Chain A
Amino acid sequence: MNILDIAAKLAPGMLVSIQIFLVTLILSLPLGLLVAFGRMSKIKTVSYLCKIYISIMRGTPLMLQLMVVYFGPYYIFGVSITGSYRIVATVIGFVINYAAYFAEIYRSGIQSMSGGQYEAAKILGYTKSQTFFVIILPQVIKRILPSVTNEVITLVKDTSLAFTISVAEMFTMAKALASSTTSMYPFVCAALFYYIFNAIVAFVMEFIEKKLDYYK
Chain B
Amino acid sequence: MSLLNMKSVKKSFDGVEILKDISLEVGEGEILSIIGPSGSGKSTLLRCATLLEDMDDGELSYNGNTVCKSVEGKSVYESSAALKKISECFGLVFQNFNLFPHMNVLQNICDAPIRVQKRDRTSVKEEAFELLKKMGLFDKAKAYPYQLSGGQSQRVAIARALALNPKILFFDEPTSALDPELTGEVLRVIKSLSDLNIAMVIVTHEMAFAREISDKVIFMSGGVIVEAGTPDVVFASDNEKTKNFIGALNK
CB neighbours (8 Å) of B98 from chain A are 114, 116-117, 119-120
**A214 in contact with B115 (CB, 8 Å):** no
From the candidates A114, A126, A138, name the one contacting B112 in the complex (CB within 8 A). A126
Q: Chain B's nearest CB lies how many Å from the CB of A29?
A: 19
> From B88, which residue of chain A is reached at the shortest CB distance?
A125
Interface locus among B3-11, B22-30, B89-97, B182-190: B89-97
Q: Verify if B209 is at the interface (C-beta below 8 Å from A).
A: no
**A125 in contact with B96 (CB, 8 Å):** no
Q: Chain A's nearest CB lies how many Å from the CB of B163?
A: 9
CB-CB under 8 A for A126 and B52, given A120-B94, A215-B145? no
From the candidates B92, B101, B145, name the one contacting A123 in the complex (CB within 8 A). B92
Interface residues on B, range: 20 to 34
Interface mask (A65-107 → B, CB under 8 Å = 1, otherwise 0): 0000000000000000000000000000000000000000000
**B111 in contact with A125 (CB, 8 Å):** no
Interface mask (A124-152 → B, CB under 8 Å = 1, otherwise 0): 11100010001100110010000000000
Q: Verify if B144 is at the interface (C-beta below 8 Å from A).
A: yes
> From B163, which residue of chain A is reached at the shortest CB distance?
A124
Interface mask (B130-168 → A, CB under 8 Å = 1, otherwise 0): 000000000000001110000000000000110010000
Sample 11 A-B pairs with CB under 8 A, ordered by A number: A114-B98, A120-B98, A120-B100, A122-B52, A124-B112, A125-B117, A125-B164, A126-B116, A134-B115, A214-B144, A215-B145
Interface residues of B (CB under 8 A from A): 50-52, 84, 87-88, 91-92, 94, 96, 98-102, 111-112, 115-117, 144-146, 160-161, 164
| A-B residue pairs, 9 tightest by C-beta | A120-B98, A116-B98, A124-B112, A216-B146, A125-B116, A123-B92, A215-B144, A138-B102, A215-B102
